[in-house]
Amino acid sequence: MNISSVVVYAAPTQLPAVEALLATLPGVQLHAQTPEGKLVVTIEAEDAAAAANTYEAIERAEGVLSMALVFQQTESNPEQELAPCK
């Protein structure tokens, strides 16, 4: 599981379209926004590759000026961890 948060900067005139796009992306949740076009978003993805695909979808969306990664964590699967050395 990959969990990250980003700040998306959108053109204020395109804010409704960017919000609509974010609502269609799996694992994406909009938490806050300003009238000037700054949006606080979290992303939950299965793995780093899926998270990267979501970042690209957001960055390439019409009306998005830029996106800044604020936090990223990959939670490991306990069944896949190596046994401790003896």
Instruction: Place 45 in a pLDDT band, splitting at 50, 70 and 90.
Output: very high
Domain count, the chain: 1
Largest CA distance in the chain: 61
- The answer to whether position 79 is within a domain reads no
Edge-to-edge, what's the strand order for the sheet holding 28-33? 28-33, 38-45, 2-10, 64-74
- The answer to whether position 83 is within a domain reads no
The domain of 57 spans 2-74
pLDDT tens-digit series, residues 26-38:
999 999 999 999 9
- The answer to whether position 39 is within a domain reads yes
pLDDT value of position 76: 76
Percent of residues, the chain, with pLDDT higher than 90: 84
Q: Which two tokens stand for residue 40?
A: 């606080």
Mean of the pLDDT values across residues 32-51? 96
Please report, for the domain that includes residue 7, its CATH number. 3.30.70.920
Q: What is the pTM of this model?
A: 0.83
pLDDT value of position 85: 59
Quick one: DSSP state of residue 35?
T
Percent of residues, the chain, with pLDDT higher than 70: 88
Q: How far is Cα of residue 10 from the mean position of the Cα atoms in its chain?
A: 14
- The answer to whether position 20 is within a domain reads yes
